[in-house]
Structures are given as C-alpha cells and as structure tokens.
Amino acid sequence: MAHAQSRAVKIGFVSAQSGVRANFGETTAWTIERMQAALKDGLKIGGKSYTVEIVVKDCQSDPNRSSVVTSELVLRDKCDLILCFDSDAALAVGELSDARGLPTISTMVPWTGWKFSRGATPETLIEKSFPYTFHFFWGASEVVKNFLAMWQSVHTNKVVGTFYTDTPTGKAFASPKTGLPGGMTQHGYKEVPGGFFKVA
C-alpha cells in the first residue's frame, strides 16, 4: 500500500461489461455494491483509518482496451490494488504491476495460460512466481479431467480433433506437458491437431 499514507486507498476493478464477454461481467455492479457496503467505514491499516475509493473500468472484451484501462489504473489513477475479473485484463496488467510494485489479483483465465503469458514454460510452470501479481482460477489439467470424464462415459474410437486459440491460454492447453495432449495420451486417446487460430 505504498500510495495510501496521505490519501484514500484506491482499488481498481477491471471487468468486461460490454463486448463478447459481457456475460462474464454481468455481476460487476452487484460486486461493486457489496464491496462499497463492506468498505463504507473505510479500512484500518497500521492503526490508521483510510477511506476507500473503487475505480471501475470496462475493458470492453478487447485486448487493446484492456491494456489501456489497466495502464490508466496504474499510472493515472495511481491505484493501491488492482482486481482483474477478465482474461485480457489479467494478461495485460501483470508486467506493469510487478514493475511498479503494485499488488494485483486476477481471475477468469486458466492459471496455466496466465503463467505462459508471463514467460513460464512447461518446465517452469509450477515454480515460476511473481512478486506483486497473484492469480486464481482452474488450469488445463482440470479441463483434461473434465473432458476425460465426459468422453469415457460413451463409446468412441478415442480419436479427438483439436483446435486451440493462438493465445497464451491456447498454447498452455496445446502443450503436451501441461495441456490436453498429455492427458489424452495417458488415457489411450489419439489427438488429431488442427492447429491454432486467431480470435477475431
């Protein structure tokens, strides 16, 4: 809370309130109302009381817009904490937050893809960590377990065609070590990879 000594504590909140992922952001207003109610009397930090201001941004389900609004929260609004409830925003703010020493908590993108976007490899996926950015969500291994449970409930030829988005998340899912291919092979399934595709 480096900025909080002489003014209100600012919390930045980013979500997709419009665009193709707007359904994921439908809870934003409800969430902000509950946060404001819980923080109406402020926060006590180190024996001092601080009022709390929540700055809400709509990333519009757009990677470029996500970069703009998260940068605004860090550099212009000078937030003390950033909460990202969107995949693009979670991927956009990480390096800047760590460079500025700004605590950031994100979700809504598989943790494997989030780490891949930050330079992790299949070999360093578990060990690699970051000083100020924290993330919670399920990963590719949980998806593999879910798919396998569905596939094993019916009789098939055990041949699976795959397409992956050309994104860090897609690459995490396509990785033989951390994604779907390894899990499929271990359980006797054959992958027919269709490659990567760009998201319009």
For residues 124-135, give the mean pLDDT.
89
Q: Which residue has the higher pLDDT, 100 or 4?
A: 100
- Tokens read off for 16: 């997709």
Fold type of domain 9-108: Rossmann fold (3.40.50)
Domain locations in the chain? Answer: 9-108, 140-197
Q: Across residues 19-25, what is the average pLDDT?
A: 91
pTM over 0.85: no
Q: How confident is residue 200, by pLDDT bands cut at 50, 70 and 90? A: low
Residues 191 and 183 sit within 8 Å (Cβ to Cβ)? no
Secondary structure of the chain in HEC code, one letter for each residue: CCCCCCCCEEEEEEECCCCCCHHHHCCHHHHHHHHHHHCCCCEEECCEEECEEEEEEECCCCHHHHHHHHHHHHHHCCCCEEEEECHHHHHHHHHHHHHHCCCEEEECCCHHHHHHHCCCCCCCCCCCCCCCEEECCCCHHHHHHHHHHHHCCCCCCCEEEEEEECCHHHHHHHCCCCCHHHHHHHCCCEEEEEEEECCC
- Count of CB atoms situated within 10 Å of the CB of 42: 13
Scan for tokens 């757009």, then name that residue.
Answer: 62
> Is it the case that residue 6 has pLDDT exceeding 70?
no
Name the token pair of 93. 């703010």
Residue 52 to residue 28: CA distance in whole angstroms: 17
- Please provide the average confidence, as pLDDT, over all residues in the chain: 89
Rounded-to-integer distance, Cα 83 and Cα 54, Å: 10
33 near 42, Cβ under 8 Å? no
Is the per-residue pLDDT at 2 higher than 70?
Answer: no
The C-alpha atoms of residue 106 and residue 193 are separated, in whole angstroms, by 30
78: which 2 tokens? 């000078």
Banded pLDDT at 18 (limits 50, 70, 90): very high
CA distance linking residue 139 with residue 86, whole number of Å? 15
More confident residue, 19 or 127: 19
Is residue 107 within 8 A of residue 128, CB to CB? The reply is no
